[in-house]
Structure 1
Amino acid sequence: MKATIWHNPNCSKSRQTLALLEEQPDVELTVVQYLKNPPNADKLAQLYSDAGMPAREGLRLSGTDAKERGLTEADDATVVAAMAEEPKLIERPLVETEKGVRLCRPPEKVREIL
């Protein structure tokens, strides 16, 4: 099975999720450091759609100005555009497999799509 993790190595939850993925012998893993290689707005919209969640639920609030910018109340297109412009607004880690997408908070949520 192929899996892609949108990863931030400075985040403990992201590192824990990556470790869970690396423990799986049948997973062909792609690691994308999204702060260096951010997803575009179309990819973000697809990830949140496949996760069955509004983009606002994938908005990182800690250490960002998301609340001050009104993003917690904004529509998905506005949130996704802001995330694409400033990837630090993306809550991590997102993991994508053929079974779906999960925002892996807690990290064990990754098991739902393996």
Structure 2
Amino acid sequence: MSEKIVIYQKPTCSKCRATISLLKENGQEFDSVNYYEVPLTVEELRKLIQKLNVPVRDVLRKDEPAAHGLNSASDDEIIKAMVENPDLMQRPIVVRGDQAKLCRPPENVMELLKK
């Protein structure tokens, strides 16, 4: 598989740093996107979630204080809230081609490297 790997991450996140270390240890080249510095658009996040092939709520960090008001929100409202407040997004998300993995735990990234 030769598709470029992209990791959407927050540099201060321990799971993000561990995932980056695994990519480096396995000799993988990748692009890193700090979505705090380069915010995702609603459409970009929607595409990421489609690649993850999980419900929108699985990408929401439910323990974040800002998430408490989203219990009855629609998927579109949750996506918009995550774009406006990146702390609401689970991380890191690693993409390779049309596949993506939420790397919590970081070892989930290995599934993308086997393909």
Matches within 5 A, 1:15-26: 15-25=17-27
> What SS does structure 2 have at the residue aligned with 1:5?
strand
State the partner residue of 2:96. 97
Cα offsets for 1:49-72 (capped at 9, x unmatched): 1111111111123343201x1x24
- In the superposition, the TM-score normalised over structure 2's length comes to 0.87
> What's the offset of the Cα at 1:99?
5.2
C-alpha distance in structure 2 between counterparts of 1:54 and 1:74, whole Å = 13
| Identical pairs, percent | 38
State the partner residue of 1:57. 58
Contact persistence 1:56–1:74 (CA under 8 A): no
> What SS does structure 1 have at the residue aligned with 2:65?
coil
Counterpart amino acid of residue 93 in structure 1:
P
Matches within 5 A, 1:1-114: 1=2, 2-25=4-27, 27-67=28-68, 69=69, 71-98=70-97, 100-114=99-113
> What's the offset of the Cα at 1:9?
1.3
Contact persistence 1:56–1:72 (CA under 8 A): no
Counterpart amino acid of residue 17 in structure 2:
R
Contact persistence 2:42–2:83 (CA under 8 A): yes
Following superposition, which runs of at least 4 residues in structure 1 exceed 4 angstroms of deviation?
none
> What's the offset of the Cα at 1:42?
0.5
> What SS does structure 2 have at the residue aligned with 1:6?
strand
> What's the offset of the Cα at 1:82?
0.7
> What SS does structure 2 have at the residue aligned with 1:49?
helix
Counterpart amino acid of residue 18 in structure 1:
I
> What's the offset of the Cα at 1:18?
0.8
> What's the offset of the Cα at 1:87?
1.3
